[in-house]
Amino acid sequence: MTYPAAHSSGSRRRRSRWQSQTVMPWLLLAPAMLFFLVYVIAPIFQSLLYSFYEWDGIGEATWIGWGNYEELLEDDRFYVSLKNNIIWLVLYMLAVPAGLAVALFLNQTITGMRFYKSMFFFPFVISQVVVGLIFTWFYNPNFGIVGELWRFFGAEPPSILGDEDLVTYGIIAAGLWPQIAYCMILYLTGLNNISIDQIEAGRLDNARGWRMLWFIVLPQLWPATFLAIVVTVIGALRSFDMIAIMTQGGPYGSSNVLSYFMYETALSEYGFRMGYGSSIAVILFLIMLVFIGYFLWVMYKNERGGR
């Protein structure tokens, strides 16, 4: 946005403020930039550097060139983690339409709606660790609700977290619960800003139901949708706490994702292979970079032309 009033003000006054206007922003940004540099930018390059070494964290580091990456390419655990990361990315996206559905449902004026809204928002407020723990109990075939349900229908309950084919889906389902709430909130705020005029105009043109949603409401919700997709993609790629709490990557590594695999390799009790862990981190970083780059590009485009 531009402020014509600012342009019309005297050029002398602007020049007198020139110094403070160029220096002050940098001065105010400096602490944040410094910490960003030290805690975010520098570690990225450090990881990159370590990934070319064989290092246990305390002894001598040996340069092994692409050795860690070559090992990674032959490591079954890496492919299991990568596959699970993709499953996470795809299924986690369900949080976006599900969040929209809940938001549309809750966007009514009924008495007690605030209560329902807060109930739906609840899973996002409680810690991921608690969510993981609760779902671990749900899934317990002996005393969990899943076991009870299965037995009600006369079936032998599956051990969801103990089965290599089911475990990742089980954890994603647990992760979706708070993520849907997150997307719902984004959409609820988006719905508040919808222009009534356009809805009215659409109604005059006889748009209702799906057509109203698709052609009138959704386009106006694009900023919320974009944000929901961004946080969901990032959430899926950093899915770590759920896995650490619910399975520790098990059974036998079958629910690993890259972030947990990296932690396990570099920092857990049986790990301390800093170089190998760093090479996993670099791969994960590159994957994230693709998405982040795309998001930044979209945002840049919006700022340039969109408005």
Partner 1 sequence: MTIMKPLVGLSLAVAMASAHAGDLVINFDDPNPAPKAGFEAAVEAFKAAHPEVNVIVNINDREAHKTAIRNFLSADAPDITAWYPGNRMGPFVDAGQFEDISDMWATDPNLSTSFEAVKPTMTRDGKQWGVPYSYYQWGIYYRADLFSKYGIAEPKTWNELLGACDTLKQNGITPFTIGTKYLWTAAGVFDYLNLRTNGYDVHNGLTAGEIKYTDERIRKTFENWNVMLDRCSFVDNHATMSWQDALAPFAKGEAAMYVMGNFAVAGMKDAGLTEDQIDFFQFPEITPGVARAEEAPADAFFIPSKAKNKEDARKFLAFIARPEIQSEWNMTLGQLPPNSKSEVNADDKFIRKGMQTVSTASGLAQFFDRDAPAEMAKAGMEGFQEFMIKPERMDKILERLDKIQARVYK
Between CA 23 and CA 30, with CA 26 as vertex, the angle to 5 degrees is 140
Q: How far is the CB of 114 from partner 1 (least distance, A)?
A: 38
Q: From CA 263, how far away is CA 239, in angstroms rounded? A: 12
Phi-psi region of 252 (alpha: psi -120 to 50; beta: other; left: phi over 0): left
Q: Which residue has tokens 């929901």? A: 228
Nearer to partner 1, 59 or 209 (CB): 59
Query: Which positions from 62 through 81 interact with partner 1, judged by CB under 8 A?
Result: 71, 76
Q: Identify the residue among 140, 207, 226, 292 touching partner 1 (CB under 8 A).
A: 140
Query: What is the rounded CA–CA span in Å between residue 148 and residue 110?
Result: 35
- Binding segment for partner 1 (CB under 8 A), chosen from 16-24, 91-99, 104-112, 246-254, is 246-254
**CB closer to partner 1 out of 76 and 197:** 76
Q: Shortest Cβ distance from residue 80 to partner 1 (Å)?
A: 11
Q: How many whole angstroms separate alpha carbon 150 and alpha carbon 107?
A: 35
- Stretch touching partner 1 by CB under 8 A, among 13-21, 220-228, 229-237, 264-272: 264-272
Under rule CB under 8 A, how many of the chain's residues touch partner 1? 29
**From candidates 132, 253, 275, 277, binder to partner 1 by CB under 8 A:** 253
Segment interacting with partner 1 (CB under 8 A) among 87-95, 158-166, 180-188, 224-232: 158-166
Among residues 149 and 289, whose Cβ is nearest to partner 1? Answer: 149
The secondary structure of 199-257 as a DSSP string is HHHHHHTT--HHHIIIIIIHHHTHHHHHHHHHHHHHHHHT--HHHHHHTTT-STTTT--
> What is the C-alpha separation between 126 and 30, in angstroms, rounded?
34
Residues 242 and 133: beta-carbon distance below 8 Å:
no
Instruction: Select the residue interacting with partner 1 from 128, 179, 247, 278 (CB under 8 A).
Output: 247
Q: Which of 23, 158, 209, 229 is nearest to 221 (CA)?
A: 229
Residue of the chain from 2, 19, 111, 142 that contacts partner 1 (CB under 8 A): 142
Q: Which two tokens stand for residue 88?
A: 């996470």
Between CA 294 and CA 289 the distance in angstroms is 8
Answer yes or no whether residue 241 interacts with partner 1 by CB under 8 A.
no
Q: How far apart are CA 182 and CA 100, in angstroms?
A: 10
Question: In Å, how far are 7, 78, 190, 209 from 113, measured between CA atoms?
Answer: 47, 46, 17, 22
Kindly tell me which residue out of 272, 285, 291, 295 binds partner 1, with binding defined by CB under 8 A.
272
Q: Can you tell me which of 102, 103, 161, 228 binds partner 1, judged by CB under 8 A? A: 161
Does position 59 bind partner 1 by CB under 8 A?
yes
Q: Note whether 155 binds partner 1 by CB under 8 A.
A: no
Whose CA is closest to 104, among 217, 230, 229? 217
Q: 165 vs 303, which CB is nearer to partner 1?
A: 165
Q: Stretches 17-25, 52-60, 88-96, 236-244: which one binds partner 1 (CB under 8 A)?
A: 52-60
Considering only 91, 101, 199, 271, the residue that binds partner 1 (CB under 8 A) is 271
Residue numbers of the site for partner 1 (CB under 8 A)? 56-60, 71, 76, 136, 139-142, 159, 161-162, 164, 247-248, 250-253, 264, 267, 269-273
